[in-house]
Amino acid sequence: MKHVKVIITGIFIPVAMLLSCKKGNKPATAVNNDDDDNGSTVIVAPTEPTVANTQGFFLDNWTAKTWSTGNTSTVAKPAAGTTTVSVDLSQQITKVSNYVYGNNTNPFMGQMVTEPSLMANITSLSPNILRFPGGDLSNVYFWNVGDGKAPADAPVQQPDYQGNYSNTGYWFGNNTQSWTFTLDNYYAMLQQTKSTGIISVNYGYARYGTSAHPDQTAAHLAAQWVRYDKGRTKFWEVGNENYGNWEAGYRINTTANRDGQPEILTGQLYGTHFKVFADSMRKAAAEVGNAIKIGIVLTEADDQNNPGVHNWNHDVLTAASNSPDFFVVHNYYTPYKQNSTPDVILATPVPVTASTMSWVKNSAINAGVIQKPVALDEWNIFATGSKQMVSNVAGLHAVMVLGEVLKNQFSMACRWDLANAWDSGDDMGMFSNSSNSNGAEPGVPDWNARPAFYYMYFFQKFIGDHIVSSSVNGSTDIVSYGSSYTSGQAGVILVNKGNTGHVVKVNFKNFAAGSNYYYYTLNGGTDNGQFSRKVYVNGVGPAGDGGGPTNYLSINANTAAIQGGININVPAMGAVFLVADKK
Start-end of H helices in 326-378: 342-346, 349-367
Q: d(Cα 347, Cα 340) in Å, to the nearest integer? A: 11
Phi, psi dihedrals of residue 369, rounded to the nearest 5°: -115, 165
| In a shared domain, residues 468 and 455 | no
| Strand bridging mode 557-561 / 293-297 | unpaired
Residue 18, pLDDT score: 34
| In a shared domain, residues 516 and 458 | no
Q: d(Cα 524, Cα 296) in Å, to the nearest integer? A: 39
| In a shared domain, residues 185 and 318 | yes
Domain total for the chain? 2
| In a shared domain, residues 249 and 260 | yes
Residue 30, pLDDT score: 41
| In a shared domain, residues 35 and 137 | no
Residue 525, pLDDT score: 97
| In a shared domain, residues 407 and 336 | yes
Residue 32, pLDDT score: 63
The length of the chain in residues reads 583
What pLDDT digit, counting tens, does each position of 532-541 carry?
A: 999 999 999 9
Residue where a domain stops, chosen among 439, 462, 485? 462
The alpha carbon dihedral of 502, 505, 509, 511 has a sign of positive
| In a shared domain, residues 454 and 339 | yes
Angle between helices 392-407 and 349-367 (to 10 degrees): 40
Count the alpha carbons within 13 Å of 224 in the hemisphere toward its beta carbon: 11
Residues of the chain scoring pLDDT < 70? 1-40, 435-438
Which CATH number do you get for residue 61? 2.60.40.1180
Residue where a domain stops, chosen among 462, 484, 505? 462
Residue 29, pLDDT score: 35
Residue where a domain stops, chosen among 462, 482, 499? 462
| In a shared domain, residues 316 and 198 | yes
Residue 438, pLDDT score: 65
Give the range of the structural domain holding residue 17, as residue numbers without chain letter.
2-94+464-582
| In a shared domain, residues 46 and 122 | no
| In a shared domain, residues 127 and 213 | yes
Q: d(Cα 89, Cα 468) in Å, to the nearest integer? A: 6
How many other β-carbons are positioned within 10 Å of the β-carbon of residue 304? 8
Angle between helices 312-320 and 349-367 (to 10 degrees): 50
Which CATH number do you get for residue 326? 3.20.20.80
| In a shared domain, residues 61 and 106 | no
What pLDDT digit, counting tens, does each position of 492-528 carry?
A: 999 999 999 999 999 999 999 999 999 999 999 999 9
| In a shared domain, residues 445 and 481 | no
